[in-house]
Structure 1
Amino acid sequence: MTRPSRRGPAVWITALCVLSAVVIAASFLAGTLVESPWEEAVANAERVPAVTAQVTQRSVARDVVAVQGTYSAGTVDEVRVAGEDLAGVVTAQKRQPGESVVSGDVLGEVSGRPVVGLSLTFRLYRDIAPGDTGPDVEQLQQALAALGLFEGQPDGEYGRRTVTAVDALYRRVGYRPPPTAPDLAQAVDAAEKERETAVRARDAAVAERDRAAAAAAAAAARDAASGAPEAG
């Protein structure tokens, strides 16, 4: 009598175990290769992006527009003070419509600063400051000289004499003179030095001309004396 072999079930069990191990290993490998969208989002959240931008450095100048016109009773005008960041506000009215005014009177206040009326032959076409030159500066000097504030002859150069006269005008009407910026003060000093140099050069040229004229006159006198006949 022959016994049945037990190797058949053992082989099947072994093969099933090996197959299960292979399937588990393949599943694990497949799981490591597959990425979730959430994992990419987490990785992007932890990444620090590099942002670059082009930077340009330049100087930006603020344009100041000066508007001139005629003011009369019953009209409203917006006044902008040159050199101020905000629009000017009329803070005081010193004269009434129809009232007589003379050169040097304060007509009103804009942002706490006086508006002084001056008798001029033509309207100012720009904002003049220390260091400027031109006929408008000379006209201002003439108006200040008429008020007894400008010393000397008007020359059209906004120098120390003009600065002193403008400061005296502000003090006369009871206000603090406007401050002079450092660069404007340097411009005044430079203009004064140029004027002094020009005056010295002119004086030297005049003196040289006078010396040359005197020498020529002396030479002519000697020639005339040497050619004259002797007296008997």
Structure 2
Amino acid sequence: EIPPSIQAKLLRVLESRRFRRVGGNEDLLADVRIVAATNRNLEAMVAKGEFREDLLYRLNTFVVSVPPLRDRREDIIPLARHFLANSGFSRRVVKRMSEAVQQGLQAYDWPGNVRELRNVIERAVILSGHKLKIDLEHLTLPRIDLPVQSRSEVTLAFDHEPTLAEIEQHYVKLLLERHQGRRSAVARILGIGERTLYRLLSNSDSG
């Protein structure tokens, strides 16, 4: 979105490492490091003549690509907890999110990415008032399609009378299927550590 005239000036500073203040008469040395961020396809903009190719090459020294939040859903809940803990309205009171809220957050596509998630959490903290738990009614999202795994019903089918260990192993595998193999999520639901979950799975495989 930088106009061509500013692009040319920025390129000149990057190449010469010198600039002149507005109203100044002498060049000054620019001892800086440029960190640039964009959500645009700069290669496509270069092809359209909207962005200077030489400036792109200058800025393109080291690229860090950050996928949109919808493509890294495993980060949604940790980020939400971080925003919840650091919200100015919740520092005096420790709030937590209900399981339905966590599933709702993961089901949403987040077109506004991390900024939208932060705003949603901060609004939820305000709307929840003095309550210690944030529920779905406190989320201000256009629409939340809860996945099937948000249902509480669980069906365990056996052709014999199962042992307690068999029921336990079957339930763990069911949760893994519902949560796309995310062991950290399953361990959190079960209230156990990931090492304990790994041991349960190992016993199941060996059996």
TM category (shorter chain) comes to: under 0.3
Computing the radius of gyration from Cα coordinates, the structure with the larger value is: 1
Q: TM-score, normalised by structure 2?
A: 0.22
Higher relative contact order (CA 8 A, sep 6+): 2
Question: Relative to total residues, which structure has the larger helix share, 1 or 2?
Answer: 2
